[in-house]
Structure 1
Amino acid sequence: MKYNRIANTDLQVSNLIMGNMRLTELSVSAAEKLIRTAMEENINFFDHADIYGSEFVGQCEEHFAKAVQMNAGIREKMVLQTKCGINSAKNYYDFSKEHIIDSVNNSLNRLKTDYLDILLLHRPDPLMDPEEVAEAFDELHASGKVRYFGVSNHNPAQIQLLEKYIRHKVVVNQLQFSIAHTPLIDAGIALNMGADQAINRDSSILEYCRLHDITVQAWSPFQTGFFKGPFLGDHEKFPKLNEVIEQIARKYDVPNTAIAVAWITTHPADIQVVLGTTKMKRMKDACKGSEIKLTREEWYEIYKAAGNIVP
């Protein structure tokens, strides 16, 4: 397992993350086995959000703590991250000081821990008062409840507005990225062309994060579009892509899942990959891609096989 340091922190983290959005699909005992498998594969980073849960807000956080029988010994082996800022009951975003602090307190109670390593603001709130967010961050940091702060699904201007007021560096931005969902790099490759690929849909957020030492975390690494299903094994919609991935997987003697991971981790931005799987085999297969560095030719071959142009 490859480890990287998150800039502006003291956190040495695995480049693969166990995401817990679907954890309640498993029983407590099955969830414990999956988490143990991740840790045996040397994953030390676990991602949550206060809204994750099929039945009630925070269910996945609570389920996670039960599964690992959270205690100080287990806690010190983990880097825990959660997200807040979505009022799922009323379907709106809320970056108010009260909501952020209440969300963190509730997450800490559910996770049975005294602190979070990283707190992310889940999705941009257009009604955000950055000074109010700054007050919340200051209070949470001063109390020892949150060590570092980040965002998810934010563009450069939104991050700049936030950082104008907060005293704490934004250290993470979690963004959707996979072989079959590549807006993070498409426009840069097709710059100044008339093709649809040349449309800048993300304000060059990947370059911004690299320039400002913000670690990118890729969510839905096996999905195409916004939860439109996995591309791996879908030979009907992605015949060429699967053919190329399987060919390269045979070369490295690893499963196709490992190559899908390696395509992301090969990028020099040291992107972390969020694995949302509930299957132990998929977890183990993915971990085999952590340290694979694809050749430039292989990386581009996969990118083109997904239907992208390289002018």
Structure 2
Amino acid sequence: MRTIQLGSSQLEVPVVAVGCMRINSLSKPEAERFVQAALEEGANFFDHADIYGGGTCEEIFAEAIHMTPAVREQIILQSKCGIRSGMFDFSKEHILASVDGILKRLNTEYLDVLLLHRPDALVEPEEVAEAFDQLERAGKVRHFGVSNQNPMQIELLKRYVKQPLIANQLQLSITNANMISNGINVNMENNAAIGRDGSILDYSRLHDMTIQPWSPFQYGFFEGVFLGSDKFPELNQAIDTVATKYGVSNTTIAIAWLLRHPAKMQPVIGSMNIDRLKDCCKASEIYLTREEWYAIYRAAGNKLP
């Protein structure tokens, strides 16, 4: 598996992250086989959140991987906190309590990366800074980042937080590519020119933050998967043409399309199917041409000005 440097840190990570949001849908033997398959592919970066399965996903993962100090040294663990029932919460008290719960469920003494989940409208960045300092001093979290945040929200945090913010999880796929499209359609009078994220793509590159695309196969928010969908015949034809050329699946090409971007993203895949996991990992070996990348982009209904 090809690796990249995660943000401004010295942490070398595989270009594909394994999302564990659905691991509670597997039986214990299935979970063990899935985790082992990921490790065999070199996909040793596992993404969690305290809300996934109400915390059960972290527990299931720890059991499936048979967590020990020796195992822990071979993997990279990331989790997220800040979402509570009916609200978001970036208070110092909640962050500290959440991390303690995460560590207990994952049966580990530290997280490699902690991300703040959905933005909290009532965030007090001074409290976030205090929480991060305490977690770092205690050795409970080594690196920090955010999820679903725009540049000014990040800048507000950075005014108080001394630790580098090295990653930002954002929704991005071939069909949900506004962060790319509004940069192509600058100053044009069309919907694609509307900036909905404060130029987060360029900001991330300028500030050495790795974008971790989530739902890389989804269209809309969670409306469905575009691969094989009769709603996207031209897109599927374009993807299948490229997949045939490289002798891989359409799944591989959908991930390779994201990896082709020079921002050096790290897609978070959520499938619990081992074959699809392997297909996603194969994208690490594919480097699409500029012509292929743009052909797929246009086939998704994106127009060039």
Q: Deviations along 1:181-206, whole A, 9 cap, x unmatched? A: 10111111111111111111111001
Residue aligned with 1:80, SS: strand
1:190·1:309 contact (CA, 8 Å) conserved in 2? no
Deviation at 1:16?
0.2
For residues 185 and 43 of structure 2, what CA distance do their matches in structure 1 show? 35
> What residue is the counterpart of 2:146 in the other structure?
151
Q: Which amino acid aligns with 2:83?
A: I
> Which of 53, 73, 77 lines up with 1:76 in the alignment?
73
Q: Deviations along 1:204-239, whole A, 9 cap, x unmatched? A: 0010000000011010001111111100011x1000
> What residue is the counterpart of 1:4 in the other structure?
4
For residues 95 and 220 of structure 1, what CA distance do their matches in structure 2 show? 24
Deviation at 1:29?
1.2
> What residue is the counterpart of 2:197 in the other structure?
202
Structure 2 unmatched ranges of 5 or more: none
For residues 39 and 233 of structure 1, what CA distance do their matches in structure 2 show? 28
Deviation at 1:7?
3.2
For residues 113 and 281 of structure 1, what CA distance do their matches in structure 2 show? 29
> Which of 36, 56, 59 lines up with 1:59 in the alignment?
56
Counterparts of 1:263-282 in structure 2, within 5 Å, are 263-282=257-276
Deviation at 1:10?
2.3
For residues 188 and 68 of structure 1, what CA distance do their matches in structure 2 show? 42
TM-score, L = length of structure 2: 0.99
Divergent runs of 4+, >4 A: none
Question: Identity rate of aligned residues, in percent?
Answer: 56
What's the Cα RMSD here? 0.7
Q: Which amino acid aligns with 2:52?
A: Y
Residue aligned with 2:208, SS: coil
For residues 198 and 259 of structure 1, what CA distance do their matches in structure 2 show? 26
> What residue is the counterpart of 1:111 in the other structure?
106
Deviation at 1:286?
1.1
Residue aligned with 2:118, SS: coil
> What residue is the counterpart of 1:299 in the other structure?
293
Counterparts of 1:11-160 in structure 2, within 5 Å, are 11-53=11-53, 57-88=54-85, 91-160=86-155
> What residue is the counterpart of 1:253 in the other structure?
247
Q: Deviations along 1:129-172, whole A, 9 cap, x unmatched? A: 00010000000000000001000000000000000001101000
> What residue is the counterpart of 2:170 in the other structure?
175
TM-score, L = length of structure 1: 0.97
For residues 207 and 285 of structure 2, what CA distance do their matches in structure 1 show? 25
Q: Which amino acid aligns with 1:86?
A: I
Q: Which amino acid aligns with 1:76?
A: E
